[in-house]
Amino acid sequence: MIEVRQLRKRFGDQQVLDGVDLTIEKGESLVIIGRSGGGKSVLLKHLVGLTHPDSGQVLVDGRDISHLNERELLAVRRKFGMLFQSAALFDSLTVEENIAFVLARERNHPPQEIARRVAEALEMVEMPGIQKRKPAELSGGMRKRVGLARAIIYRPEVVFYDEPTTGLDPVVSDSIDKLVVRVCERLKVTSIVITHDMRSMQAVGRRVAMLHLGRIYTSGTPAEMMASTDPVVSRFVRGISDEKVHTF
Amino acid sequence: MTELPAKVMQSLLAGLGRFSLMVAEVLRSLTTQRLSGRDLTSQLYYIGVKSQTVVLVTGAFTGMVLCAQTYFQFHKVKMDSATLAVVSVSMCGELGPVLTALMVAGRVGASMAAELGTMRVTEQIDALRTLATHPIDYIVVPRVVATMIAVPLLTAESIAVGIFAAYLVGVHLLQIDPGYSLVNMQRFTDHRDVLMGFIKSFIFGGIIATTGCYKGMHCGQGAEGVGHATTEAVVYASIAILMSNFFLTLLLTRLLALI
Ligand SMILES: Nc1ncnc2c1ncn2[C@@H]1O[C@H](COP(=O)(O)OP(=O)(O)O)[C@@H](O)[C@H]1O
Ligand SMILES: [Mg+2]
């Protein structure tokens, strides 16, 4: 479904992605782990064409999207839904208008249908009845749920989650993890989850890929990652800092 | 030593290139995409209706001071009744469009840069793009079109109020003869002056909105980036307005002489 070949990207003198190779199959749920500032969000932005690589390819259903212009990319992105790290709700619009955004702009959905689908999407993320609120009135966990509702209402084939549980308390994190799993099973979507939360990784991933030093360092099942004897992986999953390397 | 100027030059050219690409995309969007009436109306309300107070006050006081200053000079050579003619010609062709545009740049250009800049640093622009919406279509085009409609109208208002205020000051405060003054004003104010002001203000509207949107869409990281973008939007738009005004005066005078 999505194939990444030798993706490279630098910002200034910092080589953030240094030859990433990754294949994502239709219907799978992949977790990408890696250190903060390691380039996970940058990788995700390449997958949906928000950023253009310095070199390398991103193939979506066999088509290289890394050189398409913005208008061509818009059509490709209709297949994708993305939940941003900060939820990125439009703060001038209500929850309802946020969620209905894509449908309202497509101009071929009657208002009743839009209202029904918004209600459905809110039901799905367990936030019924908050249509009229503004994003500023919502807590972090609620914003993520609304962000997810906005991303799934138009039935995308792939949903990307950028650190869905970061900044939330353990109980809310757990409920978001369950939500991710439920969305994946009910809507039969491919899901790609970025996280550095090990509980999250075990809860939502069938396969885990670790991004380290700008490349996919290794991949395997969550159980394999937890049991790994590789020093880089085992330090990461157990959360032990490497004293020789500065951590930020 | 040659490296620094080369770098500055390079970033300047890159910026100009990105700006041109944005303007080209706006034109493409205008010709190929449908503009939402709702987006346009809300922008027109904010840019046009809400800018009136500041524009009217500017127009009125400019007209008044221009009248007083002209009168003081003309009175010496007994040309009192030409005072309003000078006010009217300079308000229509130069001061009305330029001062209105500068005030709108300070109010609207700054808020566009701040709003879009905030949307950018909070990833709302990226979110828009993942929601299959081109930011140019949804954000930039309604603002550019609304500003290009609003600024000429605001300019007309400002000119009218400026001349009216000048009339009040001239007739009631400085005791100029109202009859002669009005006749002279009409004799010396040409439809070309009015047309020139109209064309200029239309172009200034475009400058304000494209600069504000460009600075917002390409702003740096964090609150600092937004602050910078806001300042730069106002400074660049103001300079562009003042510089282009000079060339527009030269060019339009030639062109309008033909009709
Ligand atoms: N637009 C950008 N301009 C410059 N540097 C960037 C940009 N986006 C990301 N970076 C840098 O790339 C690195 C990786 O960032 P990111 O992908 O956000 O990390 P994370 O793995 O925590 O999501 C960071 O050091 C960040 O400063
Ligand atoms: Mg990140």
Residues of B with CB under 8 A from a CB of A: 25, 119, 122-124, 126-134, 138
The ligand 1 atom at the shortest distance from the C-alpha of residue A211 is 21
Q: Is residue B229 part of a domain?
A: yes
Q: How many domains does chain B have?
A: 1
Which of B121, B130, B137, B217 is most worth mutating to test chain A (most A CB atoms within 10 A of its CB)?
A: B130
pLDDT digit string, tens, across residues A57-104: 999 999 999 889 999 999 899 999 999 988 999 999 999 999 999 999
> Could B129 and A77 be called an inter-chain contact, meaning their C-beta atoms sit closer than 8 Å?
yes
Site to probe by mutation for ligand 1, drawn from A32, A42, A47, A193 as the one with most ligand atoms within 8 Å of Cβ, is: A42
Residue A14: its H or E element:
strand A14-24
Residue A107 has pLDDT above 90, yes or no: no
Residues of A with CB under 8 A from a CB of B: 45, 48, 50, 70-71, 73-75, 77-78, 80-82, 84-86, 88-91, 101-102, 105, 150-151
| Inter-residue contact A166 to A40 (CB < 8 Å) | no
| Inter-residue contact B26 to B217 (CB < 8 Å) | no
The ligand 1 atom at the shortest distance from the C-alpha of residue A39 is 17
DSSP designation for B175: -
> Could A45 and B123 be called an inter-chain contact, meaning their C-beta atoms sit closer than 8 Å?
no
> Could B122 and A88 be called an inter-chain contact, meaning their C-beta atoms sit closer than 8 Å?
yes
Percentage helix, strand, coil for chain B under 3-state DSSP, each rounded to 5: 90, 0, 10
**What is the distance in angstroms between the CA of the first residue and the CA of the last residue of chain B?**
53
A34 lines ligand 1 (CB under 6 A): yes
- Among partner residues B124, B126, B132, which is closest to A74 by beta-carbon distance? B132
Determine the distance separating the centroid of ligand 1 and the alpha carbon of A42, expressed in angstroms.
6
Structural domain that includes position B143: 44-257
A11 lines ligand 1 (CB under 6 A): yes
Q: What is the pLDDT of residue B49?
A: 94
> Could A80 and B130 be called an inter-chain contact, meaning their C-beta atoms sit closer than 8 Å?
yes
Using an 8 Å CB-CB cutoff, list chain A residues near B131.
77, 101-102, 105, 150
> Could A86 and B134 be called an inter-chain contact, meaning their C-beta atoms sit closer than 8 Å?
no
Q: Is residue B200 part of a domain?
A: yes
- Among partner residues B124, B129, B132, which is closest to A90 by beta-carbon distance? B124
Determine the distance separating the centroid of ligand 2 and the alpha carbon of A163, expressed in angstroms.
7
> Could B126 and A77 be called an inter-chain contact, meaning their C-beta atoms sit closer than 8 Å?
no
Task: Walk along chain B (259 residues) and give the pLDDT tens digit of each residue.
Answer: 567 888 899 988 999 999 999 999 999 999 998 888 889 999 999 999 999 999 999 999 999 999 999 999 999 998 888 999 999 999 999 999 999 999 999 999 999 999 999 999 999 999 999 999 999 999 999 999 999 999 999 999 999 999 999 999 999 999 999 999 999 999 999 899 999 999 999 999 999 999 999 999 999 999 999 999 999 999 999 999 999 999 999 999 999 988 7
ipTM: 0.90
CA B85, CA B180: separation in Å to the nearest integer? 10
Q: What burial letters (b/e) apply to B8-40, b meaning 16+ CB within 10 Å?
A: eeeeeeeeeeebeebbebbeebeeeeeebeebb
Domain A1-79+158-167+190-248 is in which class? alpha beta
Q: Is residue B219 part of a domain?
A: yes
A36 lines ligand 1 (CB under 6 A): yes
Percent of chain A residues topping a pLDDT of 70: 97
Strand runs labelled E in chain B: none
Neighbours of ion ligand 2 (CB under 5 A): A 41
pTM for the full predicted model: 0.90
CA B209, CA B37: separation in Å to the nearest integer? 18
Q: What is the pLDDT of residue A245?
A: 56
Residue of B146, B152, B139 whose CA lies nearest to B40? B146
pLDDT digit string, tens, across residues A124-144: 898 898 999 999 999 988 999
Residue of A nearest to B125 (CA): A88
How far is residue B232 from each of residues A117, B46, B139, B218, measured CA to CA in Å?
Answer: 43, 21, 19, 11
DSSP designation for A197: -
Q: What is the pLDDT of residue B259?
A: 79
Residue of B nearest to A47 (CA): B130
Q: Whose CA is nearest to atom 24 of ligand 1?
A: A37
Site to probe by mutation for ligand 1, drawn from A13, A16, A84 as the one with most ligand atoms within 8 Å of Cβ, is: A16
Q: Is residue B231 part of a domain?
A: yes
Q: Is residue B16 part of a domain?
A: no
CA B113, CA A210: separation in Å to the nearest integer? 38
Which range, A47-56, A162-171, A194-203, has the best average confidence (pLDDT)? A47-56
